[in-house]
Each structure stands twice: as structure tokens, then as C-alpha cells.
Structure 1
Amino acid sequence: MDLYLAKKQESITGSERKYLMDNTYWDNYYSTMNEWIEPSQFAKDILPIADKGKVLIELGCGNGRDALFFAKNGLKVVAVDQSKIAISKLQSTYANENIEFIADDFVHSNVLGSDSFNYAYSRFTMHSITEEEQDILLQKVYDSLKINGKLFIEVRSVKDDIYGLGEEVGRNAYYYNEHYRRFIVLEELTQKLQSIGFQINKAVEANNFAIYKDENPIVIRVIAQKS
């Protein structure tokens, strides 16, 4: 068992252990990933409130489309993802002085150091980890942000159309279409953020934010600030 899986074993119990297979799932998925494509709508919406020259960490960068978009538009970016295949491709093609790609489990990564970043960005990755891991991550993100630093989250809601599909493996968590998803309750997320010390600048739950092909899920968007 590699270090990534060993870390996962520490915080996952019962049927959620099937989630450990996601590491292989995403490596297979990204082995055929396309070159840089259009950034997400969330990244486009966030860019105007992110100051050029500041440092942003992306928690789960996937094929790098949002990380590259931020770097192209004047931010310094550290992009972390568990898929070694995705990161290897990105490192060999796009790494430069404005962007660094790191293969690691973003929950436990030592990259999240004290007062290191102005922004943390998590799009469709918070629902890929367990609630226990989420709590660990949010505290680490808070500690890693500079004063007035912001956390940007877009995540699947319990109001999503696919909520409840597949095998139930935990509270609001399902194993469906070969990988794990945990659906988020907006009020619980904002309360958790506030208990850590974040101020909530924006919290919305709606569709038309993450349209993909014929899918238009209800998602949660939160902007939280360390004050």
C-alpha cells in the first residue's frame, strides 16, 4: 500500500473504504485527458475578486484547466492533485515560474503550511473526501491562509439530481459510476467554516453554475474569508 492509501486508511471506516479505489479511477481517467480546455465558470467568476500577483492553491486541480487559467491571468498558483498521471502530464507541459504542480493527497499535504497563501480554491473536490477529512482540510486551509485570505468552494449539494444514486457508503455519501461522492448540506458547511474562524462572504445554492453537456446540477458556492 502506498503512502496515499495509508493516509486514507487512517480516516475512513466501514463501507467508505471502497472509496480508496478512487485513486486508480482518477489515474485511469486522466491517462486520456485532453490538453488544457476552457476554464470552469466558477474560475471565471472568481478571477475578478482575486488580485494579480497573489498566491493561490488549488485543492484537486484535475487536468489543470482552472489552475492554468489563474496563472495565465496573473496569479501565482500551486496546484495539487492525487493523480500522479495528471500531474506528470501537467509538469511536463505547463510548469513555469507562475505555476507549480504537485502530486499529493491535498487533505494531508505538507504544502498547506502556515500563512502561505492568499487564496485557496476547491471546485468539485470537497465532495470527493469524507466529512472527517473535510474537517481536517478546512482547519489546515484556515491555518495556511494569510490574514484576509479567501477560500473559494464549489461543491455538490444534497439537492443534486444524482443524490441517492448508487451504493450508500456513508452519511450523504454514495459510490456511483465507479467513484465516491459526498453531497453537502449548505448550512452545515457554513457553520463548520464559521466555527473554525472563517467569515462567510457569500453562500449560495442553485443551478446554472456548473452546466456540463445535458447536466445542470444544483451546487453550492461559498466564499469564506480569514479575518
Structure 2
Amino acid sequence: MLHHPGLVLELGCGSGRDARYFSEKGHSVVATDISPVALREARSGGNGGVTYVAADTASPLPMRCERFDVVYSRLSLHYFTDSVTRQVLAEISRVLRPGGVFVALFRSTRDPLYARGTRLEQDMYALDGHVRHFVDPPYLHEVTALLFDVEDLGQSDGDAFGYSSSFTRLTARKRRSSGGTG
């Protein structure tokens, strides 16, 4: 991700485990979550140099433009409709410095939970009180292509919260310039 200390923004930090890991590696970290319960749990694990901020990822982020070297999200950006996902990606681009890195992990369309529950829109389902927008590499490439240069995009299988799962992973870099197209 970064070979030198930088400023990392984690979206949807949950218990704060990943935020503390980045801090232990020498990065300055701002970690957000919409849930007061998650933020309380994250803070109880010790701040370790992490600044925790209550923020709704689906709304404009309370951070200034081009502030962060990295924006990171593990399994917290797959809850939004297509239109909101595109808005969230634009916000991520806004807060990333030019050349900054966006790293994210999403539930994949290969996930065992895919197509289970009530269909809300293409590749988005509600099941047992959880809404999930499952993404595949072509979709993720499409929604990031205008803002980022994709460096890694693929799928892998693994464990999520004690269950077999499948993921789409993304590493992308914010373009240094828009090439004069505005």
C-alpha cells in the first residue's frame, strides 16, 4: 500500500483492528464508522494513534479535499445502491491526494449469499436484515474508471465473520491530473 508513513482514511472501521494495524506500521490514521457502537468498541481497544470519527460513508465525508495518501475499506462499501456507490467513489476521489491509493474489499457475485433474499436492484439483495450489493470486477472497473487507474482488480475466496465467502478486491490510484478534461 505505502512504503513510507502516510495519512490513511479507513471507511467503516468497525472494531478498529485494521486502523490500529496501520497505526502500528507508522501511518497516521483517521478511521470512520456510522455506528456509535462500533466506534465505542474501536476506542475501547485503545486509540494507538488513531483518530476515530463518526461519519456516514453515504454522505459527503467531513474531510478536506486531497488530504489522504490512502483510503481503505474492508467489507464496508457494499451496502449501497449503484447510484450511491458512484457518489461514494467520487467522495473517495475528492479526499485522496493526486496519486493516492484506494484499496477496498467487497462481497463478490461469487459469494454464497449472492442472489439470496429480496432483490433490491441488480446484484443487490436484502437478507435477514442485511443489505448487500455484490460486485464483480467488470462492475468495479466501470464505476472506478473515470476517477482512478486500476492497479489490481480480482476475486478471491476466504472467510468473512466465520463463513465461507468470496470477495472482489481493488487497488486503484487517483489520477494525478484530469488531462485538462475538467
* TM, length-normalised to structure 2: 0.88
CA separation of 1:171 and 1:112: change in aligned 2, threshold 3 A = farther
- Aligned-pair RMSD on alpha carbons? 1.7
Corresponding residue for residue 155 of structure 2:
205
Given that 1:151 and 1:224 are in contact with CA atoms closer than 8 Å, whether structure 2 keeps it comes out as yes
Structure 1 gaps of 5+ residues are: 1-48
CA deviations on 1:71-124 (whole Å, 9 max, x unpaired) are 11111111000101221343355235x210011202314334211100000111
- Identity, in percent, stands at 25
Corresponding residue for residue 125 of structure 1:
76
Corresponding residue for residue 86 of structure 2:
135
Given that 1:79 and 1:102 are in contact with CA atoms closer than 8 Å, whether structure 2 keeps it comes out as yes
Aligned counterparts of 2:160 and 2:107: Cα–Cα separation in 1: 12
Given that 1:112 and 1:141 are in contact with CA atoms closer than 8 Å, whether structure 2 keeps it comes out as no
CA deviations on 1:177-223 (whole Å, 9 max, x unpaired) are 22111111311211221122x10111111214x4553x332211110
By percentage of residues, which structure has more helix? 1
Aligned counterparts of 2:164 and 2:101: Cα–Cα separation in 1: 26
Q: Quick one: which amino acid aligns to residue 204 of structure 1?
A: G
Number of aligned positions between the proteins: 175
CA separation of 1:108 and 1:212: change in aligned 2, threshold 3 A = closer
Given that 1:52 and 1:73 are in contact with CA atoms closer than 8 Å, whether structure 2 keeps it comes out as no
Structure 2 gaps of 5+ residues are: 176-182
Q: 5 Å matches for 1:179-198? A: 179-196=130-147, 198=148
By percentage of residues, which structure has more strand? 2
